[in-house]
A and B are shown apart, each in its own frame.
Chain A
Amino acid sequence: MVNELFKNPAFGVGLTLISYELGKYLQKKTKIKLLSPLITGSLIIIGVLLIGDIDYKNYKLGGSIVSFFVGPATVSFAIPLYKNLRIIRENLIGILAGILGGLLTGLLSALILSRIFGLSHQIRLSLLPKSVTSAIGYAISDMIGGVPEISLVLIVVAGVTGYVVSEFIFKILKIDNPIIKGIALGTNSHVIGTAKAMELGEKEGAMSSAAITIAGVIMVFLIPLFIKLIF
């Protein structure tokens, strides 16, 4: 009976917008960059649904309207790539090697560790796109038979990890080249890593956004191949 009250798309759209704004506000107020509105926002939405005993189906009526925009957003990833094409062309081999090195190490280490710890087949598959930006990672996970929702959570964790450890790693390796910093962050920690790259500098940020797109496209082909050969 109560659920009838929420059986309209405005409820889901409204709840998503409010939770997102609340999440952004919390991030700003606490000054904790890691507190992504994706984490706080989903906790708020899940909380409201559980407490109000509201069907997920009812939320989805509006939720799917908001998430429609993931598609156009992914299409628009062409733009950071286009804008940085000149720098990428000039450093193509180094950049591609850095991206592929990171992606392959990420895939292999995730596979080996998840075997050691005996994770289920589905979780193991869902782990693979963890370094890919959420929009593309969700699609890849769906494509290879993972659980896209789990991949999303792990994608956020990978982003936060890169945000935290990157400066330490750059210090150990004594890296001051902004291209290396940006590409390493965008490849392995997507959008959240790019936030860190932007803090480091404009060039780092631009390279990181471009790396998100390149790494994402490579993974669309690399992950199915990896599964076929090694998984």
Chain B
Amino acid sequence: MIKQFTIIVSILAISYMIEVGLGLPIPASIIGMLILLILLLTRVIKLEKVEKASDVLQGDISLFILPLAIGIIDSVDLFQGKFLITILIVVISTTVSLFTSAFVMKLIFNRKKDI
């Protein structure tokens, strides 16, 4: 397990060097993800070498995010009393976009079937 974490964290460390060194406007973690994907595709790293650590990391991602969410204490004022409206906007926007996603794919997948 430690070996698996070593691979993932090393990739992340290199990604930070790439982000800062090249001044890329992409978060290091995303650069790292793309690097890992390339390494998997080119079979430099085998899936089994990172799969366990990945399951652990993704299974409890809410735990890792939790401390970041606490920062909201300092930001509540920014809503200027429009907290509920903001929530409502997210609910409407998500419903509309979910509908669009499903609708667009339905159109394309059905047409493929007809051909």
Contact = CB atoms under 8 A, between A and B. Distances in A.
A49 B73 CA distance: 10
Nearest to A193: B98
Interface in B48-99: 50-51, 53-54, 57-58, 60-75, 78-80, 82, 85-87, 89-99
Contacts of B53: 72, 76
B106 to A, nearest CB: 6
A211 to B, nearest CB: 9
Given A113-B89, A135-B61, A139-B30, A78 B72 contact: no
A110 B11 CA distance: 35
Interface centre among B5, B30, B82, B95 (most CB of A within 10 A): B30
B113 to A, nearest CB: 10
A143 interface: yes
B105 A98 contact: yes
A28 to B, nearest CB: 14
A72 B66 CA distance: 15
B41 interface: yes
A37 B32 CA distance: 27
B74 A56 contact: yes
A71 B92 CA distance: 30
B27 A42 contact: no
Interface residues of B, number: 71
A123 B90 contact: no
B65 A70 contact: yes
Contacts of A59: 67, 70
Contacts of B3: none
B111 to A, nearest CB: 9
Contacts of B36: 75-76, 78-79
A224 B61 contact: no
A166 B61 contact: no
A144 to B, nearest CB: 10
A24 B90 CA distance: 25
A173 to B, nearest CB: 5
Contacts of B62: 20, 36-38, 41, 134, 191
Interface in A93-137: 93-95, 97-99, 101-103, 105-106, 109-110, 113-114, 117-120, 122-123, 127, 130-131, 134-136
B78 A139 contact: no
Interface in B1-31: 5, 8-9, 11-12, 15, 25-30
A63 B68 CA distance: 8
B55 to A, nearest CB: 8
Interface in A205-231: 213, 216-217, 220-221, 224
Given A162-B94, A173-B106, 5 more contacts: A80-B58, A97-B104, A101-B101, A105-B97, A127-B90
Closest 5 pairs between A and B when the two form their complex, measured CB to CB: A63-B67, A102-B101, A106-B97, A74-B29, A98-B105
